[in-house]
Chain A
Amino acid sequence: MFEDEILKKIQSGETHMRPRWQFTAQKTLFIIAIILATLLALYLVSFALFLFRHAGWRTTPFLLLIAGIAMVAILEILMHHYAFSYRKPVLYSLIAILTVLFIASISIHRAHIHERLELRAQQRHLPVMGKIYRLHHFPTRTPRMIR
């Protein structure tokens, strides 16, 4: 009988229940991963759109856009872990993610976030991403244009 064999394994200590805190920690890390993936996707997509608006499609680094799309795909895979996502067709959650990114990108555009970051990059006050902003420097714009 299964019941006897399994209870024997449990009572002998051969099989242990994992403690609840491990699952709580896993869930927390998962949520952090979703937040980070969202922020990264938002940054990549808004930055690619920023470059496209100021330099046109010929100089827009499509690699950046592809990286943004890849982050959206990763976000979709992470969200699929939850019932509210997997119970509906993938298209619905994809539309929801893209809608959130679009609205957030508009907010970033209105707040001139990338313009401010570009200014900091020109002043050499922006580590890591500074090089990319300087590569796509737009000399016709001055700090006064950024309110």
Chain B
Amino acid sequence: MELLLTDEELAGRVQASDRESFGVLVGRYEAKLIRYGRKFLSEARDIEDLVQDVFIKAYVNLQSFDPRRMFSPWIYRIAHNTFINALHAHRRLPVIPFDFDTFLPRLFAPETTDREAREREVRAMLDQGLDQLDEKYREVLVLFYYEDLDYQAIADILHIPVSTVGVRLNRAKAFLKNHVRR
């Protein structure tokens, strides 16, 4: 019965104290979040521990989730924050973290009819060039190509404008094409 319920319905049940339903959600997202963590963090670290932290945080804060919204961006947002904290654990962060590419409205070229061919080309280059990318470009690539999320969902996870998602994807793809060819 629980297998037929949507993520949002399951989250609603957990909020009403049905703990077993949380197990179903864990089962659905475990592999996805581990893959996301491995591709995004790229460095050798215990991804399983981090993903377990993500699920614990999700359970602790589940009453803040609105079941009328989508569950996927919500849990990916928790994962994003956990992975970013792990990434920056030994780095100094700027005093006021501000990203200039979220400031101005940006135009980005919409996908054209030869989209499938371009997508195949990018996917082939992803594993070779992912480590070389800055984290903000790497993350959008991972969420778009490996997690199959759309621009809106990625914008909600990263809390950036939808146009910025498109711009970062285009820049990341351009970098991969230049880098992998070399």
Binding site for B on A (CB under 8 A): 2-3, 5-7, 9-11, 15-20, 22-23, 80, 83, 86-92
Contacts and interface: CB of A to CB of B under 8 A. Distances in A.
Contacts of B64: 18, 23
A7 B60 CA distance: 12
Contacts of B162: 87
A86 B104 contact: no
Q: Which 9 A-B pairs have the closest CB atoms?
A: A20-B63, A23-B64, A86-B159, A90-B103, A89-B105, A3-B26, A3-B23, A2-B30, A7-B23
Contacts of A7: 19-20, 22-23, 26
Contacts of A11: 19
Contacts of B156: 83, 87
B155 interface: yes
B161 A17 contact: no
Contacts of B22: 6-7, 10
A18 B155 contact: no
Contact of A6 (B56, B159, B160, B161): B56
Nearest to A7: B23
B144 interface: no
Main DSSP-derived SS at the A contact region: helix
B27 A3 contact: yes
A89 B19 contact: no
Given A2-B52, A6-B22, A11-B19, A86 B161 contact: yes
Nearest to B100: A90
A11 B22 CA distance: 11
B78 interface: no
- Measured as residues with beta carbon below 8 angstroms from the partner, the interface class of chain B is 20 to 34
17 contacts: A2-B26, A3-B26, A6-B23, A6-B55, A6-B56, A7-B22, A11-B19, A17-B59, A17-B60, A18-B61, A18-B63, A20-B63, A88-B105, A89-B161, A90-B104, A91-B103, A92-B105
Nearest to A80: B159
Given A6-B56, A89-B105, A89-B164, 12 more contacts: A2-B51, A3-B27, A6-B22, A7-B20, A15-B60, A17-B59, A17-B62, A20-B15, A20-B63, A86-B160, A87-B162, A89-B104
Nearest to B31: A2
Contact of A2 (B55, B103, B159, B163): B55
Contacts of A17: 15, 59-60, 62-63
B20 to A, nearest CB: 7
B102 interface: yes
Nearest to B65: A23
Interface string B26-42: 11001000000000000
Contact of B106 (A2, A16, A89): A89
Contacts of A16: 60
Contacts of B63: 17-20, 22-23
B107 to A, nearest CB: 11
